[in-house]
Amino acid sequence: MTKVLKKYWWVVAIVIGMPIMVNVILLIPAFLPVVGENTHWLTFFGGYIGCLISTFVALFVLYRQLKQNQEENEKNRVANEEANEKNRKLQIKVLEYQQQMQWLHSFREASAQYVQIYNANDLIAIANVLIANPQEAHNMLKPLFNRAAISDTQFAYWRKDDNDTKELMEKITPKFKRYNDVLLDIQQIIAFRRSYPTAMFGSLATPMQMMGMTDVMKNKITQISKQQPGYLQQSSQLFVGVVMARIDDMKDDMAYIQDLLYNYVHSEQARINKILEESYGTKQIK
**Hey, is 119 helix, strand or coil?**
coil
CB atoms within 10 A of CB 98: 13
Which ranges in the chain belong to alpha helices (H)?
2-7, 9-27, 38-116, 120-129, 134-158, 163-195, 215-227, 237-248, 253-280
Residue 26 lies in a domain: no
Query: What percent of the chain has pLDDT above 70?
Result: 79
Q: Say what the pLDDT of residue 10 is.
A: 67
Q: What would you measure as the largest C-alpha separation in the chain, in angstroms?
A: 158
Q: Find the CATH number of the domain harbouring 200.
A: 1.20.120
Domain tally, the chain: 1
pTM above 0.85, yes or no: no
Domain for residue 20, yes or no?
no
State which residues form the domain around 252. 90-280
Give a yes or no: residue 128 inside a domain. yes
- 23-27, 140-144, 186-190: segment of lowest average pLDDT: 23-27
**14 lies in a domain?**
no
Using pLDDT thresholds of 50, 70 and 90, give the confidence band for residue 105. Answer: very high
Q: Is residue 40 part of a domain?
A: no
pLDDT at 41: 65
195-231 b/e (C-beta count within 10 Å ≥ 16 → b): eeeeebbbebbeeebbeebbeebbebbeebbeebeee
CA distance 16 to 91: 61
Residue 43 lies in a domain: no
